A and B are shown apart, each in its own frame.
Chain A
Amino acid sequence: AQSVTQPDIHITVSEGASLELRCNYSYGATPYLFWYVQSPGQGLQLLLKYFSGDTLVQGIKGFEAEFKRSQSSFNLRKPSVHWSDAAEYFCAVVARNNNDMRFGAGTRLTVKP
């Protein structure tokens, strides 16, 4: 069955520390891959997306993600976290043969001063 998994429900990092949020997917063929961020009371904002080409994708706000086909993963990284990065992060996928976007359950990021 097709699925998107974010193994970490909640992560706490210190401001200035590096960050990696995990995302794994289970699809027959490599889907389109996205990372969104959701701040309290706000809509979802796209951080970055991957559909082909270079497996290291650069996004907004200093985020990047690396697609690894062998691991069916699309992990999100940031070298130095800012307090304003505290939010909920969602990995999402769209299969190449349909229209519905499937989201992981999300990872809540807390940033310690």
Chain B
Amino acid sequence: GAGVSQSPRYKVAKRGQDVALRCDPISGHVSLFWYQQALGQGPEFLTYFQNEAQLDKSGLPSDRFFAERPEGSVSTLKIQRTQQEDSAVYLCASSLAASSGPDTQYFGPGTRLTVL
């Protein structure tokens, strides 16, 4: 496909379970971003990759959150020991350039995580 894809689209987890969310960016895009969007709120930045390097993880809310992009393409956001406050939509975005700034970020449809 031509756009950013994310899987699964919906995930229900019991509190304490580990989850893994996948993002397939647009082919050739250097930069990849993860955001968390709570219900009724704007997205909040989690982390940023340039190719396989995680250059900024300042937005990750706790050490239960971990992201990787080992080959500079697909990325996985992992949440360990999920808590109810982790319930949100997780958005992935990619951009062609090697930095943020004015380059357009293309967003995927998101993964809606519900922790029971």
Contacts and interface: CB of A to CB of B under 8 A. Distances in A.
A55 interface: no
Contacts, number: 66
B4 to A, nearest CB: 7
| Secondary structure class of chain A's binding surface, majority of residues | strand
A40 to B, nearest CB: 11
A44 B105 CA distance: 9
A46 B107 CA distance: 9
Interface stretch (B12-20, B37-45, B69-77, B79-87): B37-45
Measured as residues with beta carbon below 8 angstroms from the partner, the interface class of chain A is 20 to 34
Interface in A67-100: 90, 92, 94, 96, 98-100
A44 B45 contact: no
Contacts of B1: none
B58 A105 contact: no
B56 A98 contact: yes
Contact of B100 (A41, A46, A94): A94
Contact of A100 (B41, B42, B59, B102): B59
Interface string B38-64: 001111110010000001101100000
Given A41-B109, A42-B109, A103 B43 contact: yes
B27 interface: no
Contacts of A4: 42
A99 B100 contact: yes
Residue of B33, B56, B100, B108 ringed by the most chain A CB atoms within 10 A: B100
Interface of B: 3-4, 31, 33, 35, 40-45, 48, 55-56, 58-59, 91, 93, 99-102, 104-110
Interface of A: 4, 32, 36, 41-46, 49, 51, 90, 92, 94, 96, 98-106
Minimum-distance CB pairs A-B, first 5: A103-B42, A100-B45, A51-B102, A43-B107, A99-B100
